[in-house]
Amino acid sequence: MIHEVDEVLKTLLGGGALTGSGIEVVLDAPTRDWAARRNAPTINAYLYDIREDVNRRQRGHIPVTDERDVVVKRRQPPRWFRLSYLVTAWTKQPQDEHRLLSAVLATLIPREVIAPGELPAALGALGLSVPVSVAGIQTESRSLAEIWSALGGELKPSLDVVVTAPFPAYPEYDAGPPVTEGAAVRVRTLDGGAGTEERAHRPRQVAAIRAAREAARRRRGPGRAT
């Protein structure tokens, strides 16, 4: 799923305010060597942190239906993970980099939630919307100084973009076959009366049959039914 989130973010960054600009969007680590090889304006979205959003964790199971809307399997709810990206702009002039970061903000701020229909196949098949946050405070993530120190580069303006995506939990469990027949009620009297059997397709019908049998037993007097 991580690679699908990568593609979603690249598509978002390449559209909006940057549509038709020809600005390249890459996912490379912005190391010192990478920066030295760069020769064109670029938006870099580097995935630097992956953490589960435990506040979204759910218990229980989710039914899986077929084309007839019959439950055929059950599976655990998906687990949600926060994918944090360090988004930076690379040009020859700081002012141009700031313009690109402004364009990124203008593109991502209106896109707080991505609908399932806009997601790649496996991610969209879950039928869940994916939230996106930009330039927020992520207290659990690594500090920017630590990130740039690990990359071996110099600190520069950046945007912290977080995509919270669902990941399916396995395994799936087969569900039992659906009920296709009503309940059967068998009544036999102790005074030698013939036994009878009734079938009902709803619980109310079962209750009505039992009530009728009980009323008949009371009319007969001391005889009991089981």
For residue 37 the two structure tokens come to 């090889």
Q: Strand 62-65's sheet: what is its strand order? A: 62-65, 71-75, 172-174
pLDDT of residue 5: 92
Closest CA to 212 of 192, 222, 198, 191: 198
Amino acid identity, position 135: A
pLDDT of residue 28: 93
Q: Tokens 């994918």 belong to which residue?
A: 83
Three-class secondary structure of residue 50 per DSSP: strand
pLDDT of residue 226: 46
Closest CA to 86 of 154, 185, 166, 161: 161
Collect the ranges in the chain with pLDDT lower than 70. 60-66, 69, 71-75, 138-142, 170-209, 220-226
pLDDT of residue 46: 94
Domain boundaries, the chain: 2-174, 183-220
**Strand partners for 134:** 161
pLDDT of residue 180: 66
pLDDT of residue 126: 81
Q: List all residues 6 or more positions away from 36 whose beta carbon is below 8 Å from its beta carbon.
A: none
Closest CA to 118 of 1, 2, 3, 7: 7
Residues in the chain: 226
- DSSP H helices, the chain, are 2-14, 32-37, 94-108, 121-124, 144-151, 203-220
41 touches 19 (CB < 8 A): no
pLDDT of residue 225: 46
Q: Over the stretch 8-28, which tens digit does the pLDDT of each residue have?
A: 999 999 888 888 888 999 999
Phi and psi at residue 153, to the nearest 5°: -115, 180
pLDDT of residue 206: 60
* Average pLDDT over the chain, rounded to an integer: 80
CA distance 197 to 91: 85
pLDDT of residue 56: 80
The DSSP letter of residue 152 is T
pLDDT of residue 76: 74
pLDDT of residue 141: 57
